[in-house]
Amino acid sequence: MKRLYLVLLAAMLTLSGCGIMTGTGVDAASLANAAGTAMTALSITDDQIAQLSAQSVAYMDSVNTVETGKYDARLRKLMGTVKSINGVPINLKVYKTNEVNAFACGDGSIRVYSGLMDVMDDAELMAVIGHEIGHVVNKDTKTAMKKTYMAYAARMALGATGTLIGNLSTSVLGDIAQSYLNAQYSQKQEFAADEAGFAFSINQGYSPYSMYNSLVKLMQLNSGSSSSRSSGVQQAFSSHPATEERAARMKSAAEAYVQQQNQPQQK
């Protein structure tokens, strides 16, 4: 951790040199604040991640239209028995938009876009939500949020104000929220989240093919989608050949599950 801190500090010193040469200038106090912010990012706690997540989601709520009608009623009915993520109470909302998207955060927030609900049946929708919850349970979202804040901390060298978590400006929260939504997960992380979506669907009483069907549908949407419907979840789920491999894995998992369920029980 100390080594990474020193690397960040060295990068800041390099950036400060560039600033001085171009006439922008970075004073010593500003650079010290930037280093302090970077150190906070490196040592950020789970509680701080939850706080930053809550602030980012609150920002997203403020810039999106929160739907409280039929979409909200459908989501709450589907999620009626799901009360928490890792022991944190769930906070559900629907954004009214044509975008095909959804996300979950470590503070218990789950946000589903009405565009996703328009193209998914209940089983497929629950699989996608389970996938997003899987990223939280597997701590992928924590890592993504931490990286996002670390990137912000590094940029502070160009105009640091010493702002830390709990006192972030609206513009910074907007940047963090957007970067978080655009976070890219590894193939291993996506495989694990798919498996979480697969298990989540079954646990909620839906077909074991739900995760597979959602992946296939997102690939189909991607092949003929307009830019107005393009979104983070659609892009993340629909890149070839990676998503084809993921769909094949989920199909095999569903077939194995069905076969196991059809085997006679031993006495």
Cα–Cα distance measured from residue 3 to residue 38, given in angstroms and rounded to the nearest whole number: 12
Query: Which is catalytic among the residues 99, 124, 132, 190?
Result: 132
Mark whether 195 is an active-site residue: no
Tokens of 126: 């629950």
Alpha-carbon radius of gyration of the chain: 21
Cα–Cα distance measured from residue 254 to residue 244, given in angstroms and rounded to the nearest whole number: 15
For residue 264, cis peptide bond before it (omega within 30 degrees of 0)? no
Tokens of 243: 């998503």
Burial of 249 by CB count in 10 Å (0-12 exposed, 13-18 middle, 19+ buried)? Answer: middle
**DSSP per-residue letters across 165-227:** TTS--HHHHHHHHHHHHTPPPPHHHHHHHHHHHHHHHHHTT--TTHHHHHHHHHHHHHHT--G
Cα–Cα distance measured from residue 152 to residue 165, given in angstroms and rounded to the nearest whole number: 11
Tokens of 29: 């106090």
Cα–Cα distance measured from residue 65 to residue 255, given in angstroms and rounded to the nearest whole number: 40
Residue environment code for 159-192, b if the CB has 16+ CB neighbours within 10 A, otherwise e: ebeeeebeebeeebbbbbbebbbebebeeebbbb
Which residues are known catalytic residues? 132
